[in-house]
């Protein structure tokens, strides 16, 4: 069976062009190198080198062998380096689950800064909704969750960093029948109109809804962008995070209303598994900063 040393020897001879030069580089006598090559050729059943007076040249089979050998040697070096990195806490990829509730521009900034800092780690970003964030973390699809509710729906050894609370705005379109109502809206009045709800992306953990009254019709959308379209078209009513709704309220496209039973602020956090954290995760946690920075940049 061919050894790594055999592949390295043939590669060296191909680069130096002679048994003598290769032997000198290896501090061996030329006859030992020639003998080793003959054994390799006998094992393969092909001639790798055409012997000339003072030099050797690769045969067609030799060219193929050297190309493949160099690829294998390069791969072996990569395996050695990656194994050493893993032993020192390196991992080849990092998966982040983000709730659709966080600011989109911060996601883009995180991705750009991550790839500027790491040239040998893949970043996998998953956009989830509500309990889908926790499910991604619990199932191992993600290493860290950003914007997860602090009402943990599962058990596990997690560490947390508080992000503060999401403030909610109850919205209708400027052309909606409720837009001109000046008194606080009761549940009986609201139940007559469809509730715009985001679809929770969890599969096994019980799903949550944005806001829904008993016997109220739903209009279910996959993300806040589609929800905004439905709000502005007057297709339904409901809650949106204030930081996402603010531009549309200020432009007059949406109208914030007072309701008799307002939705409470929703605490959220960054969460990751406890125990030793790999260096790449430490970098992300340091990048995200403390609770004040998290709240300011991601949910306000």
Based on the fold, state whether residues 251 and 108 are members of the same structural domain: no
Task: Give the angle subtended at the CA of 200 by the CAs of 194 and 205, to the nearest 5°.
Answer: 135
Given this model, what pLDDT does residue 258 score? 97
In a domain, 272, yes or no: yes
β-pair partners for 56: 51
Read off the pLDDT of residues 158-211 as tens digits, 9 standing for 90 and up. 899 999 999 999 999 999 999 999 999 999 999 999 999 999 999 988 898 889
Q: Whose structure tokens read 């109850």?
A: 170
Based on the fold, state whether residues 112 and 189 are members of the same structural domain: no
pLDDT at residue 80 above 90? no
DSSP 3-state of 255 = strand
- CA distances to 23, 43, 74, 110, 127 from 103, in Å: 63, 62, 42, 11, 12
pLDDT at residue 267 above 90? yes
Given this model, what pLDDT does residue 88 score? 55
Based on the fold, state whether residues 70 and 199 are members of the same structural domain: no
Q: What are phi and psi of 166, to 5 degrees?
A: -80, 125
Based on the fold, state whether residues 160 and 272 are members of the same structural domain: yes
Based on the fold, state whether residues 98 and 160 are members of the same structural domain: yes
Given this model, what pLDDT does residue 87 score? 64
Rounded Cα distance, 30 and 20, in Å: 5
Q: Whose structure tokens read 């190198």?
A: 33
Q: What is the mean pLDDT of residues 221-229?
A: 95
Note down the domain range covering 224: 168-264
Given this model, what pLDDT does residue 278 score? 85
β-pair partners for 149: 268
Task: Name the CA dihedral angle for 124, 128, 134, 135, rounded to a multiple of 10 degrees.
Answer: -80
Nearest to 174 by CA among 244, 233, 262: 233
Based on the fold, state whether residues 131 and 193 are members of the same structural domain: no
In a domain, 188, yes or no: yes
In a domain, 83, yes or no: no
**26-40, 42-56, 198-212, 285-299, range with greatest mean pLDDT:** 285-299
Residue 192 maps to which CATH number? 3.40.190.290
Contact criterion met (CB below 8 Å) for 282 and 89: no
Based on the fold, state whether residues 227 and 185 are members of the same structural domain: yes
Question: How confident is the prediction for the chain on average, in pLDDT?
Answer: 92
**Confidence at 279, pLDDT banded by 50, 70, 90:** confident
Given this model, what pLDDT does residue 172 score? 98
- CA distances to 101, 127, 269 from 154, in Å: 20, 19, 15
Q: How far apart are the first and last CA of the chain?
A: 64
The CB density around residue 262, as the number of other CB atoms within 10 Å, is 13
**Listed range (12-16, 201-205, 275-279, 282-286) with the worst mean pLDDT:** 275-279
Residue 44 maps to which CATH number? 1.10.10.10
Based on the fold, state whether residues 231 and 287 are members of the same structural domain: no
Looking at the chain, the number of H-run helices and the number of E-run strands are 11, 12
Tally of domains in the chain: 3
Based on the fold, state whether residues 172 and 43 are members of the same structural domain: no
pLDDT at residue 297 above 90? yes
Given this model, what pLDDT does residue 77 score? 83
Structure tokens at 246: 């603010």
Residue 149 maps to which CATH number? 3.40.190.10
Based on the fold, state whether residues 53 and 175 are members of the same structural domain: no
pLDDT at residue 81 above 90? no
Based on the fold, state whether residues 190 and 50 are members of the same structural domain: no
Rounded Cα distance, 114 and 267, in Å: 27
Read off the pLDDT of residues 119-139 as tens digits, 9 standing for 90 and up. 888 999 999 999 999 999 988
**Listed range (83-97, 157-171, 273-287) with the worst mean pLDDT:** 83-97
Q: What is the mean pLDDT of residues 80-91?
A: 67
Instruction: List strands edge to edge, sheet with 266-273.
Output: 122-128, 93-99, 144-149, 266-273, 158-166
- Phi-psi category of 114—alpha, beta or left, where left has phi over 0 and alpha has psi -120 to 50? alpha
Given this model, what pLDDT does residue 2 score? 85
Q: What is the mean pLDDT of residues 47-66?
A: 92
Pairing state of beta strands 122-128 and 93-99? parallel
Q: What is the mean pLDDT of residues 90-98?
A: 86
Based on the fold, state whether residues 179 and 195 are members of the same structural domain: yes
- CA distances to 80, 227, 228 from 234, in Å: 60, 11, 10
- CA distances to 167, 196, 205, 209 from 240, in Å: 9, 9, 23, 12
């Amino acid at each position: 069976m061919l050894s790594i040393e055999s592949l390295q020897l043939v590669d060296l001879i191909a680069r130096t062009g002679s048994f003598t030069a290769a032997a000198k580089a290896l501090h061996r006598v030329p006859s030992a190198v020639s003998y080793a090559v003959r054994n390799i050729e006998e094992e393969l059943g092909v001639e790798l080198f055409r012997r000339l007076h003072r030099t050797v040249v690769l045969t067609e089979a030799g060219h193929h062998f050297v190309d493949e050998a160099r690829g294998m040697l390069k791969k072996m070096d990569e395996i050695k380096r990656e194994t050493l990195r893993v032993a020192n806490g390196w991992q080849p990829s990092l998966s982040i689950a983000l709730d659709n509730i966080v600011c989109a521009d911060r996601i883009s900034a995180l991705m750009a800064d991550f790839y500027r800092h790491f040239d040998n780690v893949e970043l996998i970003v998953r956009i989830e909704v509500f309990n889908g964030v926790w499910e991604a973390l619990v199932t191992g699809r993600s290493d860290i969750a950003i914007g997860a509710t602090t009402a943990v729906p599962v058990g596990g050894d997690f560490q947390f960093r508080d992000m503060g609370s999401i403030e909610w705005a109850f919205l209708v379109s400027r052309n909606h029948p409720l837009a001109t109502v000046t008194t606080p809206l009761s549940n009986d009045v609201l139940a007559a109109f469809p509730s715009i709800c985001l679809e929770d992306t969890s599969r096994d953990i019980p799903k949550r809804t944005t806001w829904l009254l008993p016997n109220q019709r739903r209009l279910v959308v996959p993300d806040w962008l589609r929800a905004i379209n439905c709000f502005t078209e007057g297709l339904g009513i409901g809650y949106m995070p204030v930081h996402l709704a603010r531009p549309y309220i200020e432009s007059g496209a949406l109208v914030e209303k007072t309701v008799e039973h307002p939705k409470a602020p929703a605490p959220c956090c960054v969460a990751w598994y406890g125990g030793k954290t790999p260096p790449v995760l430490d970098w992300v946690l340091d990048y995200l900063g403390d609770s004040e920075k998290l709240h300011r940049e991601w949910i306000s």
